[in-house]
Amino acid sequence: GKVRVPTHIISTISDERGVEQRYAGVPMSTLVEQGYGVGDVVSLLWFKRTLPRYCSRFIEICIMMCADHGPCASGAHNSIVTARAGKDLISCLVSRLLTIGPRFGGAIDDAARYFKDAYDRGLPPSEFVEGMKIKGIRVLGMGHRVKRGDNRDKRVELLQRYARENFPSVEYMEYAVQVETYTLSKANNLILNIDGVIGSLFLDLLDGTGMFTKQEIDEIVEIGYLNGLFVLARSIGLIGHTFDQKRMKQSLYRHPWEDVLYTK
């Protein structure tokens, strides 16, 4: 019989051979003819399935909400400075992507991990927060540099409203809201932030479809798929900031002396 030579690569998400390319088995013509969107493409290439429309729409809303947050947010600054140093698009984008991490944009996976663990164990929000404090770990998904309890982040509110109206259940997100009530009683900047709301709502999304086994959900959370959403989304804004600086032919950036405390 035939002997199959072992391959060097195994790939399960797309196939470009043949007349028509496929994403997780779905041909390009179906994507176009049946009105699939970017959220559906993320569903196919990341989760290997066509998710219900309310889920792919949620993914698209996350991408829209996270696409940019002005020139002052961490990282936009990097792309601006890099563009003004005359560097190319890829350098500007990469210099900026490297700022995404536990404090900024890259807290979604850990927020999901900690909320999931605490909620699944039935931990009261106060115990969860105090437990994190004892361990010396910040509550991921909580806190913001400029948003406050009396100046909430509209993006968070919009995502919450969408999910409450469209998801079968939002129990992880409601748990995060209870955590927020507790953290806000401690400090006014400890709001549920965009990373925290996406992390908790993605748990609800994965759980609510009934299309993922418990093991698959654990794997998605463990591998850390969710920061990918922020990376994907913010790239849109960063490319915009790069073009913006180049279009305006901005000169080399140098930070003003007045804004530095020179001290021994």
Q: Which residues bind ligand ACO (CB under 6 A)?
A: 103-105, 107, 138-145, 187, 189-190, 193-196
Per the CB < 8 A criterion, the answer to whether 23 and 13 are in contact is: yes
Tell which one of 69, 84, 96, 113 touches ligand LMR (CB under 6 A).
69
Give the Cα separation of 198 and 105 in Å (integer): 11
217 versus 231: smaller Cβ distance to ligand LMR: 231
Question: Cβ closer to ligand LMR: 73 or 159?
Answer: 73
Residue nearer to ligand ACO on the CB measure, 178 or 189: 189
Is there binding between residue 51 and ligand LMR (CB under 6 A)? no
Residue 48 binds which entry of ligand LMR, ligand ACO, none, CB below 5-8 Å type-dependent: none
Answer whether 242's CB lies under 8 Å from 79's CB: yes
241 binds ligand LMR (CB under 6 A): no
Least CB distance to ligand ACO at residue 262 (A):
23
235 DSSP assignment: H
Contact indicator for 89, 257 with CB cutoff of 8 Å = no
Residue 264 has what DSSP assignment?
-
- What secondary structure does DSSP assign to 142-178, as a single string? B--SS-BTTB--HHHHHHHHHHHHHSS--HHHHHHHH
Rg of the chain over Cα atoms, rounded to whole angstroms, equals 21
Q: What is the footprint of ligand LMR within residues 165-204 (CB under 6 A)?
A: 194
C-beta of 151 vs 169, nearer to ligand LMR: 151
Edge-to-edge strand list for the sheet holding 14-15: 14-15, 22-23, 26-27
Residue 138 binding partner per list ligand ACO, ligand LMR, none, with a CB distance cut-off of 5 to 8 Å that depends on partner kind: ligand ACO
Chain residues in the site for ligand LMR (CB under 6 A): 69, 73-74, 145, 194
